[in-house]
Amino acid sequence: GTLSFAAGETSRTVSVPTADDGFVEGAETFTVVLSNASAGTVFTTRTTTVTLTDDEDGTAYGLTTANEIVTFSVSSPGTVSAARAVTGLQAGEDLVGIDMRPATGELYAVGSTSRLYVIDPATGVATQRGGVLTTALSGTAFGVDVNPTVDRIRVVSNTGQNLRINPTTGETLVDTPLAYSATDPGAGTTPRVAAAGYINSTSTNGVGAGGTTALFDVDTARDALVQQNPANTGTLSTIGVLGVAVSDTATVGIDIAGAGNAAFAVFTVDGSSAPALYRVSLTTGAATSLGALGSATVEDLTIASVAPAVTPSPSPSATPSATPTATTTPSPSCTTPQVVLGSGTIIATGSSTLRVTGAPGTAIEVLAYSQPSRTYAVVRTGTIGSGGSVDLAAVRPPTNTRLYARQVGCTADEAVTSRVLNVRTQLSLNVARTGVRAYRFSGSAIPARPNGLIVSLYRVTEDGRQVLTAQTRANANAGQPGFDSTRPAGSYAINRVFTGTGRFGFVVRTGQDLQNAPGSSNVRSLLVF
C-alpha cells in the first residue's frame, strides 16, 4: 500500500492486521520505503525493515506410551487435553515417535513393526503410508523428525541406528551408525540417542530444496544435547550437558519449534515416574523445567508450528463413467444385496466432503483400503440423517486408496472381497431370477486414456458378496491401438446368461488399469450395502 505525507507532516501510522490462528509461525518482516519527495528534500535514510514477532505459545501434540494423542500448550504443560486413542494400527503396533511433516503439515508416526502412519490428530485415525520399511527398526528408544530441506524422515535409536525414510513410499536408506567425533569429549562413549529434532522446520529458509537446517539429538548415556553433523555420517558433537539426569528406562522426545528455533523436550528424570516438559538451549544444552505434563505419560512431542495441510478439491481431469441399461438406487440394507453410489467423489491428490446416502438412522462406517499395504481401516463414522444422507469430513487419501462406506453391523465385507482398483460404480438390476435368463450390459464411456477403461461385471449374492463374472475393455478412440471400427469409440457390451433361482443384483464398475493407463485414477468409489 501507499501512504502520503501532507506538507509539514512528519509521521504517519502503518497498520498491519494479524491473524490469531494459534500456530507458531516465526518472525515476519515488511519494508517501508520513502520516495517521491518534493521541494528538493534529501533523505538520509530512505528504507527500513519492520519485524513482526510471533507471540504464540505454541501448541504441541504429544504421543503417549498407550498409543494416544494429546495436546497441550508449551506455556502451560500441566493442562493436557483428553487422550485420543490412535486407531487403524497394525496389530501389536507400538508407536515410537511422531513429527509434523513441514512440506504437507501432516502428522507422521513411526511404529515398532517398522511402518509409517499418517495420523489425523482430530480423530486419532491412522493411515499406513507405504509398505513395511525396507530396513527394520533396531532399538528400544527412537528419535523421529522430518528434515525440512529434503523432506525425509530421520530415525535414530539408542543402538546407534541412523536411517533416512521416504515419507511417501517408506523406502529406507541406512546411514552410518551414530558415534562421537574423535576430538569430542564424548569420544569412546557409546551413545544412546533417544530423541532428535531439526531446526528451521517452518521458516522460509528451511523448508524445501536449498534450505538450511541442523539436527540435534539427546544422548541419555551422557545426559547431553549433541549435534549430529553431518547427519548422514552419524557424527556426534557435544553441545552441553542437560543438567538433569534423564532416565534410561523412560522415553524421551524433543522438537524444535519454527518460531526462533525454540527447543522443547519431554524428559522423565531419575527418581520420577512422570514426564515433564523442558526448554532446552541449543547453545549450551541446558534444560529448564516448564512443569509436569498433567497425568499423561507422553513419550514424544511435535510442535504445531505450521497449520495442518488443507488441499482444495480439484476437479478431475477426466472421469470414467458407466451407464448400464437399467439402474436403481435402493436404501442400504444388510439383508438384501444392494449397493448405493455416494454423490461425492474423492480425488487422488485432493480432498472432498463425502456424502453417503441411505435409510435415515443407519450407522455408517467409511473404510480406506490402501495399496500396496493391503490394509483396511475405518477412517470416518456417521449416522444417516432424516434427509437420507450424511456428509462426512474431508479426507486426503494417498495414491491407490479406495474408500468404501458400509452399514455398521453387516457381516459381509465388500471391501475385503473387492478385486478392482481405481473404480467408480453404478448399480444395475436387482430382480428375481428363475430358470435361464440372459442379460446385456452396455454403454458408452470415452476413456480418459486410450484403451485404458476396464469394465467389470459383478453378481451380488444374497449375503452381500460381489462375485466378478465378466470383464471387457471399452473400445479405444479412433486411430489408437485396440480401436475396433465395428464399434463406436468408448462403447462396451457384456452379455451373460444366468441359470438358477433366487434374488441377485448386478454391479457394473469402470476403472483405469495401471498397465495401460499408469497413474492413479481420478475418481474413487463410495459403496453402501
pLDDT in tens, 421-469: 223 333 333 444 455 556 666 665 554 445 556 666 666 655 556 667 7
Using DSSP, state whether 416 is helix, strand or coil. helix
pTM of the complete model: 0.52
Measured CA to CA, the distance from residue 488 to residue 284 in angstroms comes to 75
Measured CA to CA, the distance from residue 510 to residue 142 in angstroms comes to 45
C-alpha cell at 125: 485415525
The pLDDT assigned to 383 comes to 78
Domains parsed from the chain with CATH numbers: 59-303 (2.120.10.80), 340-528 (no CATH)
Only one residue has cell 519449534, namely 257
The pLDDT assigned to 163 comes to 96
C-alpha cell at 152: 525425509
User: Of 79, 100, 291, which is closest to residue 70 (Cα–Cα)?
Assistant: 79
Mean pLDDT for the stretch of residues 366-386? 61
pLDDT digits (tens, 9 = 90+) for 281-297: 999 999 999 999 887 89
Measured CA to CA, the distance from residue 312 to residue 118 in angstroms comes to 19
pLDDT digits (tens, 9 = 90+) for 161-206: 999 999 988 889 999 999 999 999 999 999 999 999 999 876 555 5
pLDDT band at 250 (very low <50, low <70, confident <90, very high): confident
| The 215-219 sheet, strands edge to edge | 179-180, 235-241, 224-228, 215-219, 193-198
Sequence-ordered list of residues with C-beta below 8 angstroms from that of 4, at least 6 positions apart, any chain: none
The pLDDT assigned to 284 comes to 95
pLDDT digits (tens, 9 = 90+) for 128-166: 988 889 899 999 999 999 998 888 999 999 999 999 999
